[in-house]
């Protein structure tokens, strides 16, 4: 499944979900209108009984006063907000004030008012039924298309899923749903805490000090609880490689690295943000997700999978055939160089069996000594037809020093990693000011991290060999805010579902 086809499938699925929700809401509305018509069916008999009770009360039968009150209660509970309900209520009010003759005048046309209200209810029922049907038909069609696309997406990933499934750890069926639900609570707490703290900062001077302190303390407590909850639940609710491939449908990005790099990749660059919980590897995975789902070999024996690329676990004594097969089935191979012999075997196999544009090498950052850079460059040049000149490149990123892609003849192209120079603004004072304002507003809503710069370099390096993915850098930045936006989305979805459930309970008389 191509990226465009996947984007179209996701759009159709989203539209199908929204349309189905609206159709359900309209169906509940039509059901409530039908129930209202059913409750009002006895209105003519109730109107006649109310009029007779009023006449008896006017003739001196004081016991009829209780019957008139009972009739008023029935109309308040079952009649629409129309003429009949208003006439009965006004008549009872006149009786309470001793104006019996005026009350009888008010209900002189009660039977006609009841018929008008019944006709109004029937028209409303017919309209709500038709509207519900108009929405139900496209909702059913869109759901059918969405399910067909889901089946096609899964069938497109069937071969690589079969390969990976052999090495997926077995878990109870309830494991991931339970921790997904728990992590949802963490997302909600985190988003609520951010909102409360932000509100205290923006509006603190307009409210009493105790209110501002309550927002601030409550927000910080909610954020702390959310962060602790997410740190516990997110690794336990992470998708495995097979689940990630089935959910996406595209050919994957195979991410290969030394297991010793996991500790560095798990670090969180939070020097420029108030609270951040997403690791470097999560941000890199978010960027590479513009190409396809990112899968990697997990470290044998780890109790929980690391967050970032979706893991599967290979045996230590027989991993090479599976890696070779995954290289063939992947659309991109991202390999982080290191000291392990297994990594250089993978470089050799990729060089021998795969197209040059399919391989991306990441060199380790923080190589301050010239001897380290020279050793890495010499070992890399052993596998290449032309020297890489890697020892002459010194990137400014502590995790990744450079990105290397290859021309069709395996000529290396080395791109140092670091902050990207500012682009020149367009000419013209007015255009310049507008561009500056748009840029300032956009940057204020994002958090630029070192991994953002890495993603920019990878994007430019891939574009140089003909692979264009324009959204990689901002996908890396968006990955730093995933918890916040997931929290807001969950709150919105939960509110909509609760509102629909409340209307359904009203329909069945339980609300």
- As a whole number, mean pLDDT of residues 238-254 equals 93
Range with the poorest average pLDDT among 27-31, 60-64, 66-70, 141-145: 60-64
Q: Say what the pLDDT of residue 20 is.
A: 96
* Alpha helices, H only, 100-208: 100-106, 110-156, 158-165, 175-203
Q: Tell whether the torsion through CA atoms of 432, 435, 438 and 444 is positive or negative.
A: negative
- As a whole number, mean pLDDT of residues 104-112 equals 88
Q: 466 in the Ramachandran plot: left (φ > 0), alpha (ψ -120 to 50) or beta?
A: left
Quickly state the pLDDT bin for 399 (edges 50, 70, 90).
Answer: confident
Round to whole Å and give the CA distance between 107 and 3: 69
- As a whole number, mean pLDDT of residues 310-338 equals 94
256 sits in which H/E element: strand 253-256
Range with the poorest average pLDDT among 206-215, 216-225, 339-348, 360-369: 360-369
Give the residue, 391 or 119, on which the prediction is more confident: 119
Each residue of 10-39: b (16+ CB within 10 Å) or e?
eebbeebeebbbbbbbbbbbbbbbeeeeee
Range with the poorest average pLDDT among 177-181, 260-264, 279-283, 365-369: 365-369
Task: Provide the terminal-to-terminal Cα distance of the chain, rounded to the nearest Å.
Answer: 46
- As a whole number, mean pLDDT of residues 23-45 equals 93
- As a whole number, mean pLDDT of residues 110-132 equals 93
CB neighbourhood size of 313 (10 A): 18
**pLDDT exceeds 80 at position 417:** yes
Round to whole Å and give the CA distance between 234 and 180: 8
Contacts for 221 with CB less than 8 Å, ≥ 6 apart:
193
Quickly state the pLDDT bin for 265 (edges 50, 70, 90).
Answer: very high
* Alpha helices, H only, 317-393: 320-329, 341-353, 370-381
- As a whole number, mean pLDDT of residues 208-237 equals 91
Highest-confidence segment of 237-246, 264-273, 424-433? 237-246
Reduce the DSSP state of residue 167 to 3 states and report it.
coil
DSSP state, residue 259: G
Q: Say what the pLDDT of residue 486 is.
A: 86
**pLDDT exceeds 60 at position 438:** no
DSSP state, residue 385: S
CB 104 within 8 A of CB 54: yes
Instruction: List the domain boundaries for the chain.
Output: 1-156, 158-237+484-511, 256-421+451-480
- As a whole number, mean pLDDT of residues 248-276 equals 83
- As a whole number, mean pLDDT of residues 98-115 equals 88
Q: Say what the pLDDT of residue 443 is.
A: 46
pLDDT tens by residue, 37-96? 999 999 999 999 999 988 888 888 888 888 889 999 999 999 888 889 999 999 889 888
Q: Say what the pLDDT of residue 274 is.
A: 53
Quickly state the pLDDT bin for 480 (edges 50, 70, 90).
Answer: confident
pLDDT tens by residue, 459-479? 999 998 888 888 898 898 888
Dihedral of the alpha carbons of 286, 289, 293, 296, in degrees to the nearest 10: -50
Indicate the pTM of the whole model.
Answer: 0.81
Q: What backbone torsions phi and psi does residue 505 show, to the nearest 5 degrees?
A: -65, -40
Q: Say what the pLDDT of residue 159 is.
A: 93
Q: Say what the pLDDT of residue 436 is.
A: 55
DSSP state, residue 333: E
**pLDDT exceeds 60 at position 160:** yes
């Amino acid at each position: 499944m191509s990226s465009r086809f996947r984007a179209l499938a996701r759009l159709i699925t989203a539209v199908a979900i929204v349309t189905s929700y609206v159709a359900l809401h309209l169906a509940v509305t039509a059901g409530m209108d039908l129930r209202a018509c059913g409750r009002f069916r006895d209105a003519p008999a109730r109107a006649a009984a109310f009029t007779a009770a009023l006449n008896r009360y006017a003739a001196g039968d004081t016991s009829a006063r209780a019957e008139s009150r009972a009739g008023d209660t029935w109309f308040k509970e079952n009649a629409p907000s129309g003429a009949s309900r208003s006439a009965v209520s006004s008549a009872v009010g006149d009786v309470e004030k001793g104006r019996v003759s005026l009350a009888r005048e008010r209900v002189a046309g009660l039977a006609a008012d009841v018929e008008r209200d019944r006709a109004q209810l029937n028209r409303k029922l017919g309209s709500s039924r038709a509207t519900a049907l108009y929405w139900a038909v496209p909702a059913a069609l869109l759901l059918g298309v969405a399910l067909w696309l889901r089946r096609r997406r899964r069938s497109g990933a069937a071969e690589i899923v079969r390969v990976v499934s052999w090495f997926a750890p077995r878990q109870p069926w309830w494991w991931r749903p339970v921790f997904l639900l728990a992590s949802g609570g963490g997302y909600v707490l985190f988003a609520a805490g951010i909102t409360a703290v932000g509100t205290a900062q923006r509006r603190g001077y307009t409210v009493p000090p105790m209110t501002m302190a309550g927002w601030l303390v409550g927000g910080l407590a909610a954020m702390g609880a959310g962060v602790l909850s997410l740190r516990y639940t997110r690794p336990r609710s992470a998708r495995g490689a097979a689940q990630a491939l089935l959910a996406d449908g595209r050919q994957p990005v195979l991410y290969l690295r030394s297991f010793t790099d996991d500790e560095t990749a798990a670090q969180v660059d939070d020097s420029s943000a108030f609270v951040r919980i997403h690791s470097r590897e999560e941000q890199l995975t978010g960027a590479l997700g513009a190409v396809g789902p990112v899968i990697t070999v997990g470290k044998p024996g780890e109790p929980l999978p690391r967050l970032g690329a979706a893991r599967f676990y290979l045996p230590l004594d027989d991993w090479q055939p599976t890696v070779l097969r995954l290289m063939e089935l992947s659309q991109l191979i991202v390999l982080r160089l290191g000291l392990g012999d297994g990594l250089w075997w993978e470089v050799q196999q990729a060089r021998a069996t795969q197209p040059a544009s399919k391989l991306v090498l990441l060199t380790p950052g923080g190589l301050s000594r010239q001897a380290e850079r020279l050793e890495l460059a010499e070992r890399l040049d052993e596998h290449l037809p032309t020297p890489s000149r890697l020892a002459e490149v010194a990137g400014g990123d502590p995790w990744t020093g450079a990105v290397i892609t290859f021309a069709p003849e395996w000529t290396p192209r080395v791109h140092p990693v670091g902050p990207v120079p500012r682009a020149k603004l367009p000419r013209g004072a007015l255009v310049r000011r507008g561009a500056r304002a748009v840029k300032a507003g956009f940057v204020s809503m994002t958090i630029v991290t070192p991994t953002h710069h890495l993603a920019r370099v990878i994007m430019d390096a891939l574009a140089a060999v003909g692979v264009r993915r324009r959204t990689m850098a901002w996908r890396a930045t968006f990955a730093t805010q995933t918890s916040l936006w997931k929290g807001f989305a969950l709150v919105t979805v939960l509110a909509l579902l609760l509102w629909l459930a409340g209307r359904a309970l009203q329909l069945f008389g339980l609300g």
